[in-house]
Chains A and B, each alone.
Chain A
């Protein structure tokens, strides 16, 4: 499903990520562990097609990523990759429900209000569907971000530091949500974190050297 070969990423002269080989099968749940600055976010951005590798190739679903470019790549990402960024980045000018509907609209899919509402129900934030994101608690906002990421039933679900600033109970709950939603969509889940508490939840782990 996902395969990285000889991928290197540089910012100027600095090598921020070097990964000889990484493969994930469809539906697998992976934990990418590493200290701050080890290139976890860079790896997720590469897989999402938001960055182009300086060297090497990334193959997703049999396609070499980066062969298509521009709007086609954006569209592919919108339909196939769900991303929960570390700083959730919900759109403050839109309501919670509109934030979810943004995902199918921007990916060029038809609006699926039923799916949006059922997701809000599953994540028990349906009573906030008309609220602005800044009226939510951090936990609620994170659930909205997860719902937004799985709106289009992606084949790849990427989460960047989803447990940062969460206590133990909430940490486990966030990981539960991600894993449940990934299972529901049959998506390959990749969670990048430096949080050792997450280790026990994932059999498949990739450790990035600092």
Chain B
């Protein structure tokens, strides 16, 4: 027998009301936890994907589309740029490294990226099986691509035109898998890598002169920090090319979806506050229902502090249960969303990630329960005992 036991007995005597309060709080906590886990993972994923890429150069159009298509591979490219322009830029003294990239086809909605060996090296990709491509029409699969398509070294497949996987297949020009990469936790896991010449071959342009060849984009690393001030302006002045900064564009993207996240977060907080109000109402009603119990407890020797503690403990118990359930729900929901996204070849989310910020959410939920219980607790401690015992 102790205060927690008595509080628990009271909660068990009204299981539906207690469950409602716990559930309300849990939904609020879960909403905030899901948003925290998802936005944190997407953010760090985008940071990792864009790491070390100072500038993306591609065809004129939307700079965000350029970044989304060439760095994160979640949008279609706007167009191509002439190879000789790209080569000129690669030799620029402000450019430390430039990775060319030819896009256009996909296999089962996994993108085929024509590039050179610098691209897997940039993401620190190690070979899990086979080796990198040496000649055109050899392909290397990212870890996730290999897992999802079931292809291994030696397998042959035909790319399809377009990015969605519904395009016309290039049956006459099959690729041969020569290698599979180990997982990197970056965008490269979900790509098919090949030589740039493969992409040209598939599209029947491999025999054209270099001057007429085209690529889709160039990923650039600056030689000096000073380049940031001058290179983009120089490139954008060129009538064929456009330069976009992945850092700037992803920050812009986050600002845009940030509004939606804020609205959802506010919704979660409103749910938590509503739960607090509900706990407050439940405890205030309990004061009336238990006026005799409270008086009897004083009669039996409980001080005012104990009655205050009893009500506050009840509010805290509700919020502890709500917070625990909410965190569990939040992680489960994130895992579920993650597995749904994985089915759509999107960046995976995991529920098995614990962030220190969650402690703040739990702390907030406990504070809500505590504050909701303070006033009823105070009123319980001030009841006139003799008057209540005498009536009835």
Could you say which residues of chain A place their CB within 8 Å of the CB of B295?
A: 89
Q: With A70-B304, A93-B13, A108-B301 in contact, is A45–B389 under 8 Å at CB?
A: yes
Q: With A85-B296, A91-B293, A94-B6 in contact, is A79–B301 under 8 Å at CB?
A: yes
A83–B298 Cα gap in the complex (Å)? 11
Over the window 62-105 of chain A, the binary record of Cβ atoms lying under 8 Å from chain B Cβ atoms (1 yes, 0 no) is 00000000110011011100010111011111100010011111
Could you say which residues of chain B place their CB within 8 Å of the CB of A179?
A: none
A86–B295 Cα gap in the complex (Å)? 13
Does A206 touch B at the CB level, under 8 Å? Answer: no
**Nearest-CB residue, chain B, relative to A78:** B301
Q: With A75-B303, A93-B12, A103-B300 in contact, is A87–B392 under 8 Å at CB?
A: yes
Say whether B386 contacts A51, CB under 8 Å: yes
Does A41 touch B at the CB level, under 8 Å? Answer: yes
A51–B302 Cα gap in the complex (Å)? 15
Say whether A93 contacts B296, CB under 8 Å: no
A108–B304 Cα gap in the complex (Å)? 13
**Nearest-CB residue, chain B, relative to A100:** B1
Q: Quick one: which of A74, A108, A152 contacts B298, CB cutoff 8 A? A: A74
A86–B386 Cα gap in the complex (Å)? 12
Say whether A50 contacts B386, CB under 8 Å: yes
Could you say which residues of chain B place their CB within 8 Å of the CB of A101?
A: 1
For chain B, which range describes its interface: under 10, 10 to 19, 20 to 34, or 35 or more residues? Answer: 20 to 34
Could you say which residues of chain B place their CB within 8 Å of the CB of A70?
A: 303-304
Could you say which residues of chain B place their CB within 8 Å of the CB of A42?
A: 390
For chain A, which range describes its interface: under 10, 10 to 19, 20 to 34, or 35 or more residues? Answer: 35 or more
Over the window 98-119 of chain A, the binary record of Cβ atoms lying under 8 Å from chain B Cβ atoms (1 yes, 0 no) is 1001111111100100000000
Does B385 touch A at the CB level, under 8 Å? Answer: yes
Return A36 CB to nearest CB of chain B, in Å.
Answer: 12
Say whether B303 contacts A102, CB under 8 Å: no
Q: Quick one: which of B13, B299, B302, B386 contacts A92, CB cutoff 8 A? A: B13
Over the window 323-364 of chain B, the binary record of Cβ atoms lying under 8 Å from chain A Cβ atoms (1 yes, 0 no) is 000000000000000000000000000000000000000000
Q: With A45-B386, A45-B390 in contact, is A75–B301 under 8 Å at CB?
A: yes
Say whether B389 contacts A98, CB under 8 Å: no
A101–B300 Cα gap in the complex (Å)? 11
Does A48 touch B at the CB level, under 8 Å? Answer: yes
Say whether B299 contacts A85, CB under 8 Å: yes
> Which residue among B2, B385, B386 has the maximum number of chain A CB atoms within 10 Å of its CB?
B386
Over the window 17-33 of chain B, the binary record of Cβ atoms lying under 8 Å from chain A Cβ atoms (1 yes, 0 no) is 00000000000000000
Return A92 CB to nearest CB of chain B, in Å.
Answer: 7
Return A117 CB to nearest CB of chain B, in Å.
Answer: 14
A85–B296 Cα gap in the complex (Å)? 9
A55–B168 Cα gap in the complex (Å)? 103
Say whether A105 contacts B2, CB under 8 Å: yes
Can you list 16 A-B pairs with a CB-CB distance of less than 8 A?
A: A42-B390, A45-B389, A50-B299, A50-B389, A71-B305, A85-B296, A87-B389, A87-B392, A89-B295, A91-B296, A92-B13, A102-B1, A102-B297, A106-B300, A106-B301, A106-B302
Q: Which 8 A-B pairs have the closest CB atoms?
A: A78-B301, A71-B303, A107-B301, A93-B13, A106-B302, A50-B386, A45-B386, A87-B392
**Residue positions of A touching B, CB distance < 8 A:** 41-42, 45, 48, 50-51, 70-71, 74-75, 77-79, 83, 85-87, 89-94, 98, 101-108, 111, 148, 152
